[in-house]
Homo-oligomer: A and B are copies of this chain.
Amino acid sequence: MSSKTIPVIERIMGANDRVALSNREILDRHGIHAVNVMASPGAGKTSLIASTVKALDSRRAVGVIEGDLASTVDTDRLRAMGVTAVQINTGGQCHLDANQVREGLNALPLDKLDIVFIENVGNLVCPVGFALGEHTRLGISSVPEGDDKPHKYPTIFANIDVLIINKTDLLPYIPFDMPEFHRLVRGLNPDVRIFELSCITGEGIDGWAQWLVDHTPKP
């Protein structure tokens, strides 16, 4: 790569951060708590959002920005349960950026919302490098992915505020060393808040939903 390209890359990164800051101002003006949801494909991002909306039981009003390479299946699923959701298709892009989130915010009824979930593209690598304006960076690991993921994808585990360990209902059927997994995560990120839960059985959802309520003051 020629040295000429480096300033261009920096300018693009700088532009994303500026839009992210401006997104944050918009969110703060509306008293909204924004959560950037990052995980592997199939870890349960949409399922977690759906289960959380149910567990919140109207204590807080939720909107969702759905990021996917293609399709509207996640948005369709959330809308079918009455959740306000907008879809961003990234084409080939492997993560959401702040401009795409701005488009999503423009399409949501912000005056009526307390929480906005931003469901990122399913990917443990790329999303972590792009600020979107969120207040909380949420990672989801799922039991069938295995307990060695912090070894192999340390960046995301080191750069989240909350970690959900999903699909605990599968623990009887899969070798997964929960204490070792916690130890690896804490080694990368001593302050991360960890919740173990299952979106299928609902076990553990209430503790996470209560945390979210406690961190989202009602206006």
Interface string of A145-188 (1 = CB under 8 A from B): 11011011111000000000001011001100000000000000
The docked-state distance in angstroms from the alpha carbon of A154 to that of B125 is: 19
On A, residues with C-beta under 8 Å from B are 1-2, 4-5, 8, 12, 40-42, 68-71, 73-74, 92, 94, 121-126, 129, 142, 144-146, 148-149, 151-155, 167, 169-170, 173-174
Choose among A4, A144, A155 the residue with the greatest number of B CB atoms under 10 Å from its CB.
A144
The docked-state distance in angstroms from the alpha carbon of A2 to that of B11 is: 10
- Residues of the B chain whose Cβ atoms lie less than 8 Å from the Cβ of A12: 1
The docked-state distance in angstroms from the alpha carbon of A148 to that of B74 is: 9
Question: Which residue of the partner chain, among B5, B92, B125, contacts A155 with CB atoms under 8 Å?
Answer: B92
Choose among A40, A42, A92, A123 the residue with the greatest number of B CB atoms under 10 Å from its CB.
A42
Question: Which residue of the partner chain, among B73, B121, B142, contacts A148 with CB atoms under 8 Å?
Answer: B73
The docked-state distance in angstroms from the alpha carbon of A198 to that of B8 is: 47
The docked-state distance in angstroms from the alpha carbon of A174 to that of B2 is: 50
Copies in the complex: 2
Is the beta-carbon distance between B68 and A152 smaller than 8 angstroms? yes
Is the beta-carbon distance between A152 and B71 smaller than 8 angstroms? yes
Question: Which residue of the partner chain, among B74, B92, B122, B170, contacts A170 with CB atoms under 8 Å?
Answer: B170
* Additional 6 contacts, C-beta under 8 A, given A40-B41, A40-B122, A41-B145: A41-B149, A41-B152, A70-B151, A70-B154, A73-B152, A170-B174
The docked-state distance in angstroms from the alpha carbon of A69 to that of B158 is: 14
A117 CB to closest chain B CB, in angstroms?
17
A112 CB to closest chain B CB, in angstroms?
28
The docked-state distance in angstroms from the alpha carbon of A101 to that of B68 is: 29
Is the beta-carbon distance between A145 and B42 smaller than 8 angstroms? yes
**9 A-B residue pairings within 8 Å (CB atoms):** A41-B149, A68-B152, A69-B154, A71-B152, A74-B152, A122-B152, A123-B125, A169-B173, A170-B170
Nearest-CB residue, chain B, relative to A145: B42
- Residues of the B chain whose Cβ atoms lie less than 8 Å from the Cβ of A41: 40, 124, 145, 149, 152-153
